[in-house]
Structures are given as structure tokens and as C-alpha cells.
Amino acid sequence: MPKTELDTFDRRIVVALQADGRLSNVELAERIGLSPSPCLRRVKRLEREGYIDGYRAILQRKRIGPGFTVFLGIKIGGHADDEAITFEKGVTEMPEVIACHMVSGDIDYLLEVVVPDLEHYERFLLGKLLAFPIVKEVRSNIAIQTLKAASPLSLDHLA
């Protein structure tokens, strides 16, 4: 596990920004107990050093439209060749794939795919994913209900 180099104020900053990424610098500074100038310098450093990757809105999928979530276990035919690199690049560029993890165990990759409905999923699976010759097996698990998603990263266990 990588060792974190965040001090108390850095931790307060990232926790506050995970809870509300729209905080102004003045609001953030008040919340964490710093004046605005050092707070802004710390935020800029955290961004520059890659601790803060970006800011985004969390959308309600059911309100937007694409509320059909499928988790796919992918088994491929090899890892150390150009086909594997092409697969990884292709999958990470697909807008339907909102998360992709290389994992250990019975499968090689775990993908989270969000599409409007089963018909769109079928087109994605047959028309895009299975177009990669390296894909040997796909196990689809349709999400029935989402109990927790897009949660902030807890820093408590890293102290």
C-alpha cells in the first residue's frame, strides 16, 4: 500500500472537497481552519501532485436516462502482446464503460458498463466488446439495485 504524505490540513482539504467540490476557496479555508491564501496553495499543490484528479458532478442515472448497469467479468487470451494493449485502450475509450479494473482471480478485467437498457447492452456486447479477438469469455452481472455508488474515499484507515 502506498504511503500517503498528506498532513492534517491536506486531509481536511480532500475530505471537504470530496463532500462538496463546489466549495469556494474562502468556504474551504474556513471549514478546515486555514486562511484563504495557504489553503489555495495547498489545493493547487494537491492538484499538481496528483492527489486531486479532478472535479465532477455526480448524476442520478435514473433521472438522466442510462440506468441499466452491468458488471462484466472479462477473460482474455493473453496479457503480454499488442492485442492486450489494443483491448485495454479500446475498452477505456468506450463511453459505456465507466470503470475498468485489471483484477486477479478467475477473470482478468472487471468492467462497469452503463447503458439505457438491455437492447443497448446487447449492441455494446456483440458490436463492441466481442469485436476484440483477445476476449475469450464474458460474464455479465446485471445490477438489480444500487445500494452505494460514487462514495468519497475514506482516509481514516490511512492514518
- 30: cell is 474556513
Q: Measured between alpha carbons, how far is residue 59 from residues 62, 63, 66, 114, 156 in Å? A: 9, 8, 11, 12, 26
Please give the chain's pLDDT, 159 residues, in tens: 455 588 999 999 999 999 899 999 999 999 999 999 999 999 999 999 999 999 988 877 777 766 789 999 999 997 778 889 999 999 999 999 999 999 999 999 999 999 989 999 999 999 999 999 999 999 999 999 888 887 777 776 555
In this prediction, residue 150 carries a pLDDT of 74
Taking the chain, what is the end-to-end CA distance rounded to the nearest angstrom?
Answer: 12
Name which of 51, 53, 27 is nearest 158 in CA terms: 51
In this prediction, residue 1 carries a pLDDT of 42
Residues 121, 139: Cα–Cα separation, whole Å: 13
